[in-house]
Amino acid sequence: MASLSRTVLVVCPEGSTLRVFTCVARFWGWSLGRAEVVPLPSAQPAPQPEAVAAAVRPLVLRWGIPPGTEVALVLPAVVGGVLSLAAGAPQTDRAWIDRELAGRIPFASRDIECDVRAAGPDRSIQVAWLPRTAAVEFRTAFARLGLALGEIVFRAQLYAHAARETGAEGRELIIEQWNGCFSFHLLAGGRVLRTSMAQTPAAREFADRLQLELLSLEAAGRSPAVARIVLAGAQRRFSGEFEAAAKDAAQGIEIVRRPAELSAMFLRFWRGGETGIWLVPENPPAMARRLAFAIAGIGALLAAAMAWQVSALGDETAALEARATRLRPQYQPLAAKERQALSAAATADAVARISAETSEPQAALLAVFNALPRSAWVTRFAFEAGKTTVAGRGLDTESVVEKLKGQPGVSRITGVDEPELTDGDAAPRFRIGFHWAGRADERRPQ
């Protein structure tokens, strides 16, 4: 029955933290699985792919996420954006879309990845775009963890989908606080018209920027420009000082607070079959239900046939016993998978212990992870006074030594005598030792 369900790992950078949860599709639809919030090494307006992957790695090991699991990455609008274009040509005319995007985004059309779809009764076209370099970096970072980046969804699209569900009328200016910055999403009819971002740490600066946003909408000829201003996000995200500044700058426009739980918004977005840059698979819950009904129908027919032929039950039992005898020698791959699961759990425990200690063991272990391919597993790790010993399987000692030579902070690499192979396991093993000198940026005095 495991094949009839589907799990998506959702990664949401939120300022200096990273919210990670799983969405699971079963017969009755999508549901929220495990969830956790972990800190990011650095707080930047644009999340860095390597930092996101490094923060996700312990959860992947601890939760036992299988290789090949699809990742849905929810990015802030500052990384890419969503634009609404007037329908002047067919949706498939990429040359016309490229001309419309020219001048409206700071990238050439060949340097972006985008998804185009029709939206609204006015036949307008909505374009979600992302810099190609960012897409490649995120895809590569997750691939090193054995995961597949399958969906990128901008936060503005989540708010637009929530507005369609609530039936909000008129244009809304969604204001979302993001890591000391504010994102402004202009929505109309459940569509994203434009997004912008400003770094305004003080309430006075925030009020000035809000006035500029409203003036720019009036100058663009949008009448009415904004029906209401929505302060969105988690509860208590906006302080009273910023809310008072927004009321002063709103010039009589209605201001409302709207709590937004990102995991619930994404779950409704996914259930609705919405798309980001890459398409969501076609209605997987319905496909799983149809498959289950088909299997149940076939089983009922087989049971009815065997009820009329009692002798067939004995033949079937004998065939199953013979099959079990024939498959018994093939159980070794299952045992190997179990050992891999135990190795992953041991690695997760080691990473958890190292994260609670000083930063040098964690940096040394990260250097080993960066050097090893996905097919290799670390089974033992020891660090004492700069001397590091690493053991694992899936790669020979000479290859590991060559891969570690290019890692910063690693010196005096030596190979240790390899352990003997256990019965039934012919995978190569390695055991090396090296001296961890630390990277140059870590040794620089503060």
Q: Domain locations in the chain? A: 2-271, 286-333, 338-443
- Euclidean distance between CA atoms 18 and 12, whole angstroms: 6
pLDDT of the chain along its 446 residues, tens only?
Answer: 445 677 889 998 887 888 999 988 776 777 888 999 998 876 566 788 999 999 999 999 999 999 989 999 998 877 788 887 876 656 667 788 888 888 788 888 888 888 777 766 666 778 888 888 888 899 999 999 999 988 888 888 888 888 888 777 788 888 888 767 788 888 887 788 888 878 777 888 888 888 888 888 777 665 557 888 888 876 566 677 888 888 888 878 888 888 878 888 888 888 777 666 554 444 555 555 566 677 888 888 877 776 766 676 777 888 888 887 877 777 767 778 888 888 888 887 876 676 555 578 888 888 888 888 888 888 888 888 778 888 888 888 888 888 888 788 788 888 776 554 554 566 788 888 888 887 555 544 44
For residue 310, the SS3 value is helix
Nearest alpha carbon to residue 259 among 199, 386, 174, 149 = 174
- Crossing angle of helices 49-63/132-143, nearest 10°? 30
- Euclidean distance between CA atoms 155 and 74, whole angstroms: 6
Query: pLDDT (tens digit, 9 = 90+) per residue, 9-64?
Result: 999 888 788 899 998 877 677 788 899 999 887 656 678 899 999 999 999 999 99
- Euclidean distance between CA atoms 442 and 386, whole angstroms: 14
Tell me the whole-structure pTM to 2 decimals.
0.56
pLDDT score at 247: 84
Task: Name residue 409's amino acid.
Answer: G
Q: Could you give the C-alpha distances from 81 to 84, 106, 188, in angstroms and in order? A: 10, 11, 16
Cite the DSSP H helix spans in 251-355.
Answer: 262-271, 284-308, 310-327, 332-355
Give me the long-range contacts of 86-90 (CB less than 8 A, separation at least 24).
86/124, 86/125, 87/118, 87/122, 87/123, 87/124, 87/125
Query: pLDDT (tens digit, 9 = 90+) per residue, 103-133?
Result: 788 888 888 888 777 766 666 778 888 888 8
Contacts of 173 (CB under 8 A, 6+ apart): 184, 185, 186, 187, 213, 214, 217, 226, 228, 229, 230
Give me the long-range contacts of 232-237 (CB less than 8 A, separation at least 24).
232/159, 232/174, 232/175, 232/176, 232/258, 232/259, 232/260, 233/176, 233/177, 233/259, 233/260, 234/259, 234/260, 234/261, 235/259, 237/177
Can you name the residues that pair with 125 across neighbouring β-strands?
Answer: 85, 118
- Euclidean distance between CA atoms 231 and 199, whole angstroms: 16
**CATH superfamily for domain 2-271:** Protein of unknown function DUF3822, C-terminal domain (3.30.420.260)
Burial group, residue 184, by CB count within 10 angstroms (0-12, 13-18, 19+): buried
- Crossing angle of helices 262-271/155-166, nearest 10°? 70
Cα Rg, the chain, nearest whole Å: 27
Domain 338-443 in CATH 3.30.1360.100? The answer is: yes
Note whether 128 and 50 are within 8 A (CB).
no
- Euclidean distance between CA atoms 12 and 119, whole angstroms: 25
